[in-house]
Structure 1
Amino acid sequence: MRVGFIGTGSMGSILIEAFIRSGALNPEQIIATNRTLTKVERLAQSYPGLQAAPSNKQTAAESDLLFLCVKPMEFKAVIDEIESVVSSQQTVVSITSPVMIRHLEELLPCKIAKIIPSITNYVLSGATLCIYGDRMLPEDEDLLENLLSHISAPIRVSEQYTRISSDLSSCGPAFLAFFVEKFVEAAVQTTGISEAEATQLASEMTLGTGKLLTTGGFSPAELQKRVAVPGGITAEALLIMEKELCGVFYDLIRTTHAKYEEDVEKVEARLFRTKVD
């Protein structure tokens, strides 16, 4: 199987490197291109055998499975370039949430899937959200999920829940990192503990908590109950968090959804502007 990548920015390069390091793909199976070709050439130097292609068209033509790892507003130019060489036997995978399955199925003749990866995939962990178009066969879905299972837990979601699922799995690491950062800042400024020591403690705590909530079998509520003795220090602190933080999460979700809906409208207008004109 030949796997292509159009776009080797942050997430495109994370996927390529994770697939290679996990053993899911050999470098020889990968062909990739980027608007700035030197970025792909650096990947090819790091992973001998990986082919750096000079154009999107060549990458699309030589791929069985093609990942589109470009920004939403760049999709129109990429699709215009590759549509003449894409066949019905190929699978094109978008990793961009505002680009809808129906958009790609109208513009390309191939099988269409959408995945939403996470930066946690870099350490072969976390989830990958999987959404499939009507042309995908069960064996196509299994092949893609088998590939993704080397670097993540593939989870099928409905496209209508793309945004909230992405908030939890893909944006979540940034939100959690912000919490850790502010926790550490408060610890340092209030007590004088060193930033390095506080960061190490908080980071190890985050790792351990993730394991308890997954392989450990705890639910978030059960974990709080196990740690917080009634009337104890943790319980008192949780009361403060309940009072001060709960509204923040509702505001966060309203904000991400409003931005997502705006992006979907912009992408749709750009993809079909020529037809409308």
Structure 2
Amino acid sequence: MKIGIIGTGNMGRILAEALLDSGAVEEGSLMAVNRTLAKAEALKKVYPGIHVAEKAAEVAHFADIIFLCVKPLESRGVLMEIASFLAEEKCLVSITSPIRTDQLETTADCSVIRMIPSITNRALAGVTLVTYGEKCSSDWKTKLGELIRKISEPIEIEQQYVRVASDIVSCGPAFFSYLLQEFVLAAVNETNIDEERATNMASGMLIGMGELLRKGHYTLPALQEKVCVKGGITGEGIKVLENGLGDMFRDLFRATHAKFKEDLEHVEKQYRS
């Protein structure tokens, strides 16, 4: 199966790297293109066997499955450019959350899927969100599922939950890396522990906690209960968190949903025109 990547920015490159490193696709079966050609060429320096195109249409012509990894407001223009190459037997996969599959299907005659990856896929881990278009064939559902399982766990998501699921799966690593960084800096400022050592400790803790959850040893509440000894030090720290967090996470989801609504309106205008 030939793979096409249109857009090798952050997520497009991560997707290409994950697919190649996992062995899901061989280098000679992948073609990439980017508006700034140097970014695609940088990927080729790491994976010399891949093909680099100058135009998106070349990728659409070459590939069986085309991953559209461009910004939401750029997608319509690219889609119009490649539409004539999207034959019925092919599959178009968009990785941007504001664009619905039914919008893509107004232009693409092939199977259409929306897939929302995560930076965790670079470690061949985490979750990838999937929404299938109405016209998506069962064959392409199976093929994409097999690809995704090489780099992550696929979870099918309904339209009304796309934003909150994306916040958890795709934006979550940024949110929690920020919290972890603040945790480390507070430790450094309060105790003068070396920042590098504290970062290594915190990173190891987070990875270990992830393994406890992945292997099913504890749920989140059970983990807290096991670590918190009645009247102990951890409990005092939990009290601070309980008093200090307030509505912070609810405000976070409100902010991301408000921006998402804005993006939806802009995309809707493009696909109506």
Q: TM-score, normalised by structure 2?
A: 0.97
* Aligned position for 1:164: 164
Distance 2:194 2:37 in 1: 43
Aligned to 1:216: 216
Q: CA RMSD in A?
A: 1.1
Partner Cα separation in structure 1 for residue 68 and residue 104 of structure 2: 11
Partner of 1:110: 110
CA distance in 2, matches of 1:106, 1:79: 10
- 1:223 and 1:267 mapped to 2: Cα distance? 42
1:194 aligns with 2:223: no
* 4+ long deviations beyond 4 Å: none
Question: Aligned pair 1:225/2:225, yes or no?
Answer: yes
Note the 1:16-31 alignment, pairs <5 A: 16-31=16-31
What 5-or-longer segments of structure 2 have no aligned partner?
A: none
In structure 1, distance between residues paired with 2:50 and 2:152: 22
Aligned length: 273
CA shift at 1:110, angstroms?
A: 1.1
In structure 2, relative to structure 1, the CA distance for the partners of 1:215 and 1:246 (3 Å cut) is farther
Higher mean displacement: 237-246 or 54-63:
237-246
For the residue of structure 2 that corresponds to 1:83, the secondary structure is helix
Q: Distance in 2 between matches of 1:259 and 1:42?
A: 32
Matches within 5 A, 1:106-255: 106-255=106-255
How far, CA to CA, are the matches of 2:217 and 2:116 in structure 1?
25
Question: What TM-score do you get using the length of structure 1 for normalisation?
Answer: 0.96
Residues 11-20 or 40-49, more deviating: 40-49
Q: In structure 2, what is the equivalent of residue 51 of structure 1?
A: 51
Structure 1: state its 5+ residue gaps.
Answer: none
Provide the rounded CA distance (Å) in 1 between the counterparts of 2:64 and 2:78.
17
Q: Secondary structure at the match of 1:240?
A: helix
The aligned amino acid for 1:250 is R
Measure the CA separation in 2 of the matches of 1:232 and 1:77: 59
Q: Give the counterpart letter for 1:32 in structure 2.
A: A
Q: What is the Cα deviation at residue 158 of structure 1?
A: 1.1
Alpha-carbon distance between aligned partners in 2 of 1:166 and 1:180, rounded to the nearest angstrom: 20
Distance 1:84 1:142 in 2: 25
Give the AA of the match of 1:256: T
Aligned residue type for 2:171:
C
Cα-to-partner distance string for 1:18-61 (whole Å, 9 max, x where unaligned): 11111111001101111011221222232122110111111111
Q: Distance in 2 between matches of 1:257 and 1:217?
A: 33
2:40 is the counterpart of 1:40 = yes
SS of 2:245's equivalent?
helix
